[in-house]
Chains A and B, each alone.
Chain A
């Protein structure tokens, strides 16, 4: 298909008079890993939530594989996996039960093997019967990634998956994300951590003040070079706030 996998056209999102997104155009090809950078309140989370059909655009359109999120949100959700700030897990269910529950939501047939494989991959198989309540932040985040991958979605939306993790856990996460990527899987990830983001990305976009201010292949970016630009936008937003 000539169309990009994800096509965003003229996207605006207002919360009342507060304009969070002010005209986003973006197309993302299959297999790309796009890192969305930007200060707090730039609209990164809102953009991901709109892609995930959790939030409705005020104006503009989002298409996934040529299908509008307005026309068939249920169908699109099947292709999405999401990791957000909140883990989307139940503290009073065990790791395995959480995955079993989500397997049912996604209508997986005989998910036991898949669940076992994923738990092993995120190194939680030995804790599968423990309540998620007892897990550390890093373990919860790993389980959240397993949850997002459960139905093997071609598109993965990661909203600051590294927030609140200690450096070691964050490193493990980076490794994990490197493994699950690949040519088939499209990843859109937001982060505060510029260098970590650049290490994973093959494309980088900076969102500031509800607009895309930079969108470029990661190979063309020199981490030292982009730092001042990034800081500039972050500080600009801080001054405003």
Chain B
């Protein structure tokens, strides 16, 4: 068990180290997210009575699209420099590699969220930094990373690669997006956590279900 966690941590540490140095993923995700905010601002500015009606959608769509950019890179860099086999040679169950990669994707998306939440507050003049909202965003991002990491490993071994990832990912992810948007709009108008417990439960169920499925299937995705 200690060995297992050590490998999870090693993969996470390695990804963080590389990202800290290159900032490739973060830069493209953050720039993309800001662009999304700007575009949405122009799309909705003229005909929305209350900004709080659009902010949840803007937030989740920006996160989803920026996130899929980062997820796409997670295995492409490993594949292209041929280091994936190095990870798979580690004398540990391959789910440890999955978990390490999943956590690093999770962390990347959280960092991008931490970056766009204040911008959203400024651009749309709506306070989005609310504890309950942060919780639902955190849980939704976990499900996003859980499924996205597996699909990223699938997509990287296909001809279409990056193009395929959103097509595979978004229809599966839809329950999280729906629940996230709905709960977020509730929290923006002052609802409590208890008011939207069913949405949170749905996301938590999604997270657990797909983490388990990912654990069971990851080996089939990476082994030939």
By a beta-carbon cutoff of 8 Å, the part of chain A in contact with chain B is 49, 52-56, 74-78, 80, 82, 84-93, 97, 101-102, 104-107, 147
The residue on A at minimum CB distance from B20 is A92
Known: A75-B91, A88-B85. A55 touches B21 (CB 8 A): no
Contact with A along B108-120 (1 / 0, CB 8 A): 0000000000000
Q: When A and B form their complex, which 8 residue pairs have the shortest distance between CB atoms, in order from nearest? A: A86-B82, A88-B86, A104-B10, A78-B91, A77-B91, A105-B90, A55-B224, A92-B18
Residues on A with beta carbons closer than 8 Å to the beta carbon of B9? 104
In addition to A53-B89, A55-B223, 10 A-B residue pairs with Cβ atoms within 8 Å of each other are A77-B91, A84-B82, A88-B86, A90-B83, A91-B81, A92-B18, A105-B7, A105-B91, A106-B90, A147-B86
B91 touches A101 (CB 8 A): no
| Most central of B89, B223, B224 by chain A CB within 10 Å | B89
B89 and A77 contacting across the interface, CB-CB below 8 Å:
yes
Interface residues of B, CB < 8 Å — how many?
26
Contacts of B17 in A (CB 8 A): 93, 97
Q: A54-B88, A77-B91 are in contact. Are A89 and B14 (CB under 8 A)?
A: no
**CB contact between B85 and one of A54, A75, A90 (< 8 Å): that residue:** A54
Report Cα–Cα, A49/B56, bound state, in Å.
48
A92 to B16, CA, bound (A): 11
Q: Are B85 and A82 in contact (CB under 8 A)?
A: yes
Q: Does A74 contact B92, Cβ atoms closer than 8 Å?
A: yes
Complex Cα spacing A55 to B223, Å: 6
Q: List 29 A-B contacts (CB under 8 A).
A: A53-B89, A53-B223, A54-B89, A55-B223, A74-B91, A74-B92, A74-B93, A77-B90, A77-B91, A78-B91, A80-B89, A82-B89, A86-B81, A86-B85, A87-B83, A88-B85, A88-B86, A88-B89, A90-B81, A92-B22, A93-B17, A93-B18, A101-B14, A104-B6, A104-B10, A105-B7, A105-B10, A105-B86, A107-B91
A93–B10 alpha-carbon span in the complex (Å): 13
Number of A-B residue pairs at CB separation under 8 A: 83
B3 within 8 A of A: yes
Query: What is the CA–CA distance of A225 and B86 in the complex, to the nearest angstrom?
Result: 38
Q: Which residues of A contact B88 (CB under 8 A)?
A: 54
**Do B83 and A86 have beta carbons less than 8 Å apart?**
yes
Cβ-neighbour of A90 out of B6, B7, B14, B90 (below 8 A): B14
Interface of A (DSSP majority class): loop
Which residues between 17 and 42 of chain B lie within 8 Å of chain A, taking CB atoms? 17-18, 21-22
The one of A49, A85, A92, A107 in contact with B3, judged by C-beta atoms closer than 8 angstroms, is A107
Tell me the smallest distance from the CB of A115 to a CB of chain B, in Å: 14
Cβ–Cβ contact B89 & A52, under 8 A: yes
Residues of B within 8 A of A147 (CB): 86
Kindly list chain A residues whose C-beta atoms are within 8 Å of the C-beta of B91.
74-78, 105-107
- Is B87 an interface position by the 8 A CB rule? yes
**Residues of the A chain whose Cβ atoms lie less than 8 Å from the Cβ of B123:** none
Chain B residues with CB below 8 A from A88, complex form = 82-83, 85-86, 89
Whether B7 pairs with A101 at a CB distance below 8 angstroms is: no
A86 to B77, CA, bound (A): 13
CB distance from B82 to the nearest CB of A (A): 2
